[in-house]
């Protein structure tokens, strides 16, 4: 089973993806993780990624698709969770083509729906709790950074919701519920596919 987790920053995609990895033997394909891994791999693709990142430039869709294709070809039986990709409609089309080329398909795009005000409150509290517990606080876990990240999400990524809705692959879940409740809804959704 191959799925995409959609939702703005802080919606809980990473938390739920990790649970699916543990419970369903799925592979989380995080573009950030893949780029960091490629950069240090020493492969030809890794050298390209390192050069682009060292120059402070954005890695092209073509390179990200190439990294995803490498992962798809080393597939296990549990399927993939696409995390942080696709972010644009062009990337969604490229992912569809890539899956088809590899004899696979996308089963669902699951949106973790959140209210912006509640999300800002959640992230600011997460940073306060981490600081109080002596844990590292993400540099972008503050109200101003989150508002910028939200704007970027709404401009570029939120059109994917309509895209997958039109393809009858969209499923929405309340991302502000307790972690266990979100996990339960996610399980029900996946079991119904």
pLDDT in tens, 65-124: 988 988 888 766 789 999 888 989 999 999 999 999 989 999 999 999 999 888 888 888
Average pLDDT, the chain: 90
Let me know if 36 is a catalytic residue.
no
Q: What is the pTM of this model?
A: 0.84
Question: Are 29 and 80 spatial neighbours (Cβ–Cβ below 8 Å)?
Answer: yes
Of 71, 101, 128, 138, which is the active-site residue?
Answer: 138
Let me know if 149 is a catalytic residue.
yes
Of 87, 113, 156, 187, which is the active-site residue?
Answer: 87
Let me know if 138 is a catalytic residue.
yes
Instruction: Find all residues with CB under 8 Å of 186, minimum gap 6, and list them.
Output: 16, 19, 20, 110, 173
Selection from 2, 9, 33 nearest residue 158 by Cα: 9
């Amino acid at each position: 089973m191959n799925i995409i987790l959609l939702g703005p920053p802080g919606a809980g995609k990473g938390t739920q993806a990790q649970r699916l990895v543990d419970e369903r033997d799925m592979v989380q394909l995080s573009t950030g993780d893949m780029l960091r891994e490629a950069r240090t791999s020493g492969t030809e693709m890794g050298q390209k990624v390192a050069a682009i990142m060292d120059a402070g430039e954005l890695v092209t869709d073509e390179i990200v698709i190439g990294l995803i294709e490498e992962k798809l070809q080393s597939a296990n039986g549990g399927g993939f969770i696409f995390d942080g990709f696709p972010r644009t409609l062009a990337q969604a089309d490229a992912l569809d083509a890539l899956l088809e080329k590899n004899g696979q398909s996308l089963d669902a795009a699951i949106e973790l729906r959140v209210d912006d005000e509640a999300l800002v409150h959640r992230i600011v509290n997460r940073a306060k709790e981490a600081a109080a517990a002596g844990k590292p606080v993400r540099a972008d876990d503050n109200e101003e950074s989150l508002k910028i990240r939200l704007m970027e999400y709404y401009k570029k990524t939120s059109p994917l919701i309509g895209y997958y809705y039109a393809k009858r692959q969209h499923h929405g879940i309340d991302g502000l519920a307790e972690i266990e409740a979100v996990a339960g809804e996610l399980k029900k959704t996946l079991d119904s596919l």
